[in-house]
Protein backbone atom coordinates (compact mmCIF):
# COMPACT_ATOMS: atom_id res chain seq x y z
CA UNK A 1 0.00 0.00 0.00
CA UNK A 2 1.99 2.93 -1.33
CA UNK A 3 -0.59 5.48 -0.14
CA UNK A 4 -0.34 4.29 3.47
CA UNK A 5 3.45 4.49 3.35
CA UNK A 6 3.33 8.04 1.95
CA UNK A 7 0.79 9.06 4.57
CA UNK A 8 2.96 7.63 7.36
CA UNK A 9 6.01 9.43 5.94
CA UNK A 10 4.06 12.70 5.77
CA UNK A 11 2.85 12.20 9.35
CA UNK A 12 6.41 11.61 10.56
CA UNK A 13 7.64 14.69 8.70
CA UNK A 14 5.04 16.87 10.45
CA UNK A 15 5.84 15.30 13.85
CA UNK A 16 9.57 15.86 13.24
CA UNK A 17 8.88 19.51 12.38
CA UNK A 18 6.88 19.89 15.59
CA UNK A 19 9.68 18.30 17.64
CA UNK A 20 12.13 20.73 16.03
CA UNK A 21 9.98 23.69 17.00
CA UNK A 22 9.78 22.44 20.58
CA UNK A 23 13.56 22.00 20.70
CA UNK A 24 13.99 25.54 19.36
CA UNK A 25 11.85 26.91 22.19
CA UNK A 26 14.06 25.24 24.76
CA UNK A 27 17.29 26.24 22.98
CA UNK A 28 16.22 29.90 23.00
CA UNK A 29 15.70 30.00 26.78
CA UNK A 30 18.59 27.69 27.68
CA UNK A 31 21.16 29.44 29.81
CA UNK A 32 18.93 32.32 30.92
CA UNK A 33 19.38 33.14 34.58
CA UNK A 34 16.30 33.44 36.79
CA UNK A 35 16.16 37.22 36.50
CA UNK A 36 16.22 37.12 32.69
CA UNK A 37 13.71 34.26 32.76
CA UNK A 38 11.18 36.52 34.53
CA UNK A 39 12.05 39.85 32.86
CA UNK A 40 10.05 41.13 29.92
CA UNK A 41 11.96 42.75 27.07
CA UNK A 42 9.00 43.10 24.72
CA UNK A 43 6.21 45.71 24.67
CA UNK A 44 3.55 43.06 25.39
CA UNK A 45 4.99 42.37 28.84
CA UNK A 46 5.40 38.66 28.17
CA UNK A 47 8.31 36.99 29.91
CA UNK A 48 10.25 33.93 28.72
CA UNK A 49 8.81 32.02 31.68
CA UNK A 50 5.27 33.06 30.81
CA UNK A 51 5.72 32.18 27.15
CA UNK A 52 7.07 28.68 27.84
CA UNK A 53 4.35 28.05 30.43
CA UNK A 54 1.75 29.19 27.88
CA UNK A 55 3.22 26.85 25.25
CA UNK A 56 2.96 23.96 27.73
CA UNK A 57 -0.70 24.81 28.25
CA UNK A 58 -1.20 24.95 24.49
CA UNK A 59 0.34 21.46 24.19
CA UNK A 60 -2.14 20.21 26.79
CA UNK A 61 -5.11 21.91 25.13
CA UNK A 62 -4.45 20.92 21.53
CA UNK A 63 -3.13 17.39 21.91
CA UNK A 64 -4.77 16.02 25.03
CA UNK A 65 -8.07 17.87 24.98
CA UNK A 66 -8.71 18.52 21.28
CA UNK A 67 -6.91 15.64 19.54
CA UNK A 68 -7.34 12.87 22.12
CA UNK A 69 -10.64 14.09 23.54
CA UNK A 70 -9.38 13.64 27.08
CA UNK A 71 -10.47 15.66 30.05
CA UNK A 72 -7.39 15.19 32.23
CA UNK A 73 -6.79 17.13 35.36
CA UNK A 74 -5.68 20.55 34.29
CA UNK A 75 -1.94 21.15 34.68
CA UNK A 76 -0.62 23.68 37.11
CA UNK A 77 -2.91 26.53 38.03
CA UNK A 78 -5.14 26.41 34.95
CA UNK A 79 -8.81 26.78 35.72
CA UNK A 80 -11.28 25.11 33.35
CA UNK A 81 -14.14 27.57 33.85
CA UNK A 82 -11.88 30.59 33.48
CA UNK A 83 -13.06 33.03 30.83
CA UNK A 84 -11.10 32.88 27.55
CA UNK A 85 -8.28 35.36 27.42
CA UNK A 86 -8.17 38.20 24.93
CA UNK A 87 -5.16 37.50 22.68
CA UNK A 88 -4.75 41.22 22.05
CA UNK A 89 -4.36 42.17 25.70
CA UNK A 90 -3.21 39.08 27.59
CA UNK A 91 0.21 39.17 29.26
CA UNK A 92 1.75 35.79 29.99
CA UNK A 93 3.97 35.81 33.06
CA UNK A 94 4.59 33.38 35.89
CA UNK A 95 6.49 33.39 39.15
CA UNK A 96 7.34 29.68 38.82
CA UNK A 97 11.08 28.88 38.77
CA UNK A 98 12.54 28.19 35.33
CA UNK A 99 13.25 24.54 36.16
CA UNK A 100 9.58 23.93 37.00
CA UNK A 101 8.32 25.68 33.87
CA UNK A 102 10.72 23.75 31.64
CA UNK A 103 9.75 20.47 33.32
CA UNK A 104 6.06 21.29 32.81
CA UNK A 105 6.68 22.12 29.13
CA UNK A 106 8.71 18.95 28.53
CA UNK A 107 6.06 16.82 30.25
CA UNK A 108 3.29 18.30 28.14
CA UNK A 109 5.33 17.80 24.96
CA UNK A 110 5.99 14.16 25.89
CA UNK A 111 2.28 13.60 26.47
CA UNK A 112 1.55 15.24 23.12
CA UNK A 113 4.03 12.91 21.41
CA UNK A 114 2.32 9.92 23.02
CA UNK A 115 -1.04 11.09 21.67
CA UNK A 116 0.36 11.71 18.17
CA UNK A 117 1.96 8.27 18.10
CA UNK A 118 -1.48 6.66 18.23
CA UNK A 119 -3.58 8.86 15.93
CA UNK A 120 -2.98 9.47 12.19
CA UNK A 121 -2.71 13.15 11.33
CA UNK A 122 -5.50 12.73 8.78
CA UNK A 123 -7.94 11.62 11.49
CA UNK A 124 -10.59 13.87 12.97
CA UNK A 125 -9.90 15.08 16.52
CA UNK A 126 -11.80 13.23 19.23
CA UNK A 127 -12.35 16.37 21.32
CA UNK A 128 -13.31 19.96 20.65
CA UNK A 129 -11.49 23.25 20.62
CA UNK A 130 -14.62 25.19 21.43
CA UNK A 131 -14.95 27.48 18.43
CA UNK A 132 -18.40 26.24 17.49
CA UNK A 133 -18.49 24.30 14.22
CA UNK A 134 -14.82 24.94 13.56
CA UNK A 135 -13.99 21.32 14.42
CA UNK A 136 -15.82 20.00 11.35
CA UNK A 137 -12.99 21.30 9.18
CA UNK A 138 -10.14 20.15 11.41
CA UNK A 139 -7.88 17.13 11.25
CA UNK A 140 -5.21 16.14 13.75
CA UNK A 141 -2.49 17.42 11.40
CA UNK A 142 -4.08 20.86 11.46
CA UNK A 143 -3.57 20.92 15.24
CA UNK A 144 0.17 20.41 14.67
CA UNK A 145 0.62 23.54 12.59
Q: Where are the domains of the chain?
A: 2-143
Instruction: Tell me the Cα Rg of the chain.
Output: 17
Query: What's the mean pLDDT in 100-121?
Result: 94
Task: Output the average pLDDT for the chain.
Answer: 84
What pLDDT is attached to residue 110? 96
Query: What's the mean pLDDT in 32-41?
Result: 95
pLDDT per residue over 19-35, tens digit each?
999 999 999 999 999 99
Q: Which pTM does this prediction carry?
A: 0.83
How far, in Å, CA of 60 to CA of 122, rounded? Answer: 20
Please state the separation of Cα 123 from the chain's center in Å: 19
Amino acid sequence: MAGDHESQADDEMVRAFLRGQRESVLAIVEGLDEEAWHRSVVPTGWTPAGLVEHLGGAEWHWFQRVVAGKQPELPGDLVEDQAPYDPLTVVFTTDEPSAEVVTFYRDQCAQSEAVLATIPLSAAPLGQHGLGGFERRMCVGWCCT
